Amino acid sequence: MIRLIASDLDGTLLDDEKRLPPNFFEVLDEIYERGIVFAVASGRTFSAVEHLFPEKYREKISYICDNGACTYINGKADDIFPLERAVYEELLEKCGKIGGFEFVVCASSGVFYKNSDSEFAKDVSLFYKKNMPIDDLENVEGEIYKLAVCDKLGTVEHGKPIIDGIFGDKLNVQASGAEWMDVMAGGVSKGRALRTMQKHLGISPAETMAFGDYFNDADMLASASFSFCMENGSDEVKKMCRYIAPDNNSGGVTECIKKFVLN
């Protein structure tokens, strides 16, 4: 019996226009009636996720944010795993010397990016609400949860190998797109966060369903017996999963929930 459902957002639950499936809240109400926990698992920060849901649902939904650096159960903070300030500053310094990287910093004090051209600002606004330009990213206050790093030369071929080579297991670098990667503290991942949530709620992997589309979802998908990669997802991630869901523009997540859980 499924007791926990976790879903990535972009490219998975949301369509290409960043919209929830038309029947999402109808399905959500039905799974809540059955006592099933629903968790959003995103590389986005909490403030960029909660606004997608009407207020009456926000305290019912659980959240894995910043690729696992922040976990909220029933809308309340449960587990926080920030990046060490010294490692954060070293990352800014060394990547600044290499050049070619743009950063979005997700912190307890907000979401920040360095004053840059308008095109990058537009890209940031697509995924992060309440974002703020700043002159010097070293001046970001509070705990640092995650950096979203844009690398136009390609994350898998260029940026990720460079950062992995410098920092090793001090950081967890996950490709989240062709030109984007998420950088968290070593050990942080959606999978670790999901396993923490399972332990907290007394739910096993055999009772867990998870949906994703890219490499930053892989560890989470491996922590669920009912693992689904979206039809539009990475071919490599598809090989890791038990099932393939219809694509994100077809409401694949809710269709699979209806088929495997509600029916």
Cα separation, 260 vs 107, whole angstroms: 37
Who contacts 119 (Cβ-Cβ below 8 Å, separation ≥6)?
A: none
The pLDDT of residue 131 is 83
Cα separation, 55 vs 28, whole angstroms: 14
Q: Which of 19-28, 45-54, 204-213 has the lowest mean pLDDT?
A: 45-54
Instruction: Write out the two tokens for 2.
Output: 């499924």
Q: Is 87 exposed, middle or buried (0-12, 13-18, 19+ CB in 10 A)?
A: middle
Length of the chain in residues, anyone?
Answer: 263
Q: Per-residue confidence at 235, pLDDT binned at 50, 70, 90?
A: very high
* CB burial string 25-60: b at 16+ within 10 A, e below: eebbeebeeeebbbbbbbbbbbebbbebbeeebbee
Question: Taking all residues of the chain, what is their mean pLDDT, rounded to a whole number?
Answer: 92
Who contacts 118 (Cβ-Cβ below 8 Å, separation ≥6)?
A: none
The pLDDT of residue 117 is 62
The pLDDT of residue 127 is 74
The DSSP bridge pattern shows strands 70-73 and 62-65 to be antiparallel
192 alpha-carbon distance from chain centroid:
12
Task: Express each pLDDT in 74-92 by its tens digit.
Answer: 777 788 999 999 999 999 9
Q: Between the CA of residue 237 and those of 218, 230, 231, 234, 240, what are the distances in Å?
A: 7, 9, 10, 5, 5
Task: Express each pLDDT in 124-168 by its tens digit.
Answer: 777 777 788 898 999 999 999 999 999 989 988 999 999 999 999
Q: Per-residue confidence at 115, pLDDT binned at 50, 70, 90?
A: confident
Q: Per-residue confidence at 118, pLDDT binned at 50, 70, 90?
A: low
- Give whichever of 30-39, 115-124, 153-162 has the largest mean pLDDT: 30-39
Cα separation, 210 vs 101, whole angstroms: 31
Mean pLDDT of 187-193: 95
Q: What percent of the chain has pLDDT over 70?
A: 98
Q: Which domains does the chain have, with CATH numbers?
A: 4-81+189-262 (3.40.50.1000), 85-185 (3.30.1240.10)
Instruction: Write out the two tokens for 66.
Output: 């910043």
